[in-house]
Amino acid sequence: MTDRVYINAVGADGNPLCMHVRDGRILTLGAEPPAAGAAQVTDLCGHLVLPGFVDGHIHLDKSFVGDRWRPHRPAASLRERLAIEKEELAAAPPIEGRADALIAQAAAFGTVAMRCHVDVDATTELSNLRAVMAAREKWRGIVDIELVAFPQAGVMSCPGTAQWLEAAVREGAEVVGGIDPSTLDGDAEGQLDCVFGIADRLGAKIDIHLHEPGEQGVDQISRIAARARALGLAGRVAISHAYALGDVGPRALEEVARKLADAGVAIMTNAPGDRAFPPVLALIEAGVRVFTGNDNIQDCWWPYGNGDMLQRAMLIGYRSGLYTDGELLTALRMASHAGAEVLGLEGYGLAPGNEATFVALPAPNGAAAVAAVPAQRLLFRKGEPVGDAVAAFGAVRPAA
């Protein structure tokens, strides 16, 4: 039996926090140091302790992290962007190595779980999925990776894709994806019949990219919520981006938010830099689960990103005008607990009985960490320091 006691930390609320860990799991949490007996005691020197971050939306098969820098190439349309991506990725190193490099980078920032959208269509078939699955296997037990079979090129407009989406779920993808049923596919009912049909038959979750604007996008969101409610899929359906929610007025937003909450459909936003996006506070107040992710990282879609979910929480707060401590903690929750709930992670968070995997940062509380995004991240997995944390906090003393 291995016992460790961590003292002199603070929690997200800024209050003192001490932790007793036994065999890699949290035994007790509290403001006062526990009676530790023969446990090793580690002084965290006033560091903020947070659970590991959750990236609710990432594309591991697209990123050039681990490869050379590739200047961004403008495109006049979505189809042109897809053609550029095909060309660039064909000349890039294999997916598995690039995915591995990005997972490693995200893990170093403190990410412990992610939902990864992987291109599946009639041309890629399952090649991207299998490459990312191989990279995922290397990180098993360190980073929990849920896979989405994502039809980037469309479902109805790319003949044969529907059968590959189903094959991907049978192969091990936990989520079936969709994308812009009207503006890309031109057949909203056909695409949603396919996506919801696969989920219903195979017990998969759903996550649909939706960039459609204004009232058209809101109508699409309502259509997705109605299907989720009819099939009893509360908690198993998400809409990524949902730009339309940032386009419409308060009355339309209130109406569609009620539909989302009633159906248990979650919204993912990464606070994109050049587009209106969902008003996170209004949605959360309406009872909608809102989470975040990095989305594309240094790929053909844009050159930005590094995999840091704390930075993503800052961008959510910055672009949403979140200033109070409570609001900043909402952004932090979107990058942690909210994503964990959507992914269905069991035993996530700082609570007795859960795995003692956490991040220590030099910040007085969670709000300050979101606002300033401290570069230093000290990682602890299953109660033990790893990486730089070994040098910083590896020295221990016996309990008094």
- Any idea which residues carry the catalytic annotation? 241
Q: What b/e readout covers 373-392, taking b as 16+ CB neighbours within 10 angstroms?
A: beeebbbbbebbbbeebeeb
Q: Could you tell me if 178 and 148 are in contact, meaning their C-beta atoms sit under 8 angstroms apart?
A: no
Q: Quick one: 370 exposed, middle or buried, by C-beta within 10 A (0-12, 13-18, 19+)?
A: buried
Residue 52 DSSP one-character state: P
Q: What's the per-residue H, E or C state across 323-367? A: CCHHHHHHHHHHCCHHHHHHHCCCCCCCCCCCECCEEEECCCCHH
3-state secondary structure of 206: strand
Other C-beta atoms lying within 10 Å of the C-beta of residue 140: 9
> Are 304 and 345 spatial neighbours (Cβ–Cβ below 8 Å)?
no
Contacts of 394 (CB under 8 A, 6+ apart): 385
Separation between Cα atoms, residue 126 and residue 381, nearest integer Å: 32
What H or E segment, with its residue span, contains residue 177? Answer: strand 175-179
CB 243 within 8 A of CB 276: yes
Which two structure tokens, joined as six digits, stand for 305? Answer: 């990103």
What residues form DSSP beta bridges with 22? 3, 25
CA distance 222 to 251: 14
- Report the candidate in 180, 163, 160, 179 with the shortest Cα–Cα distance to residue 171: 163
Rounded Cα distance between 23 and 41, Å, is: 14
Distance, in Å, from the CA atom of 5 to the CA atom of 350, rounded to the nearest integer, reads: 14
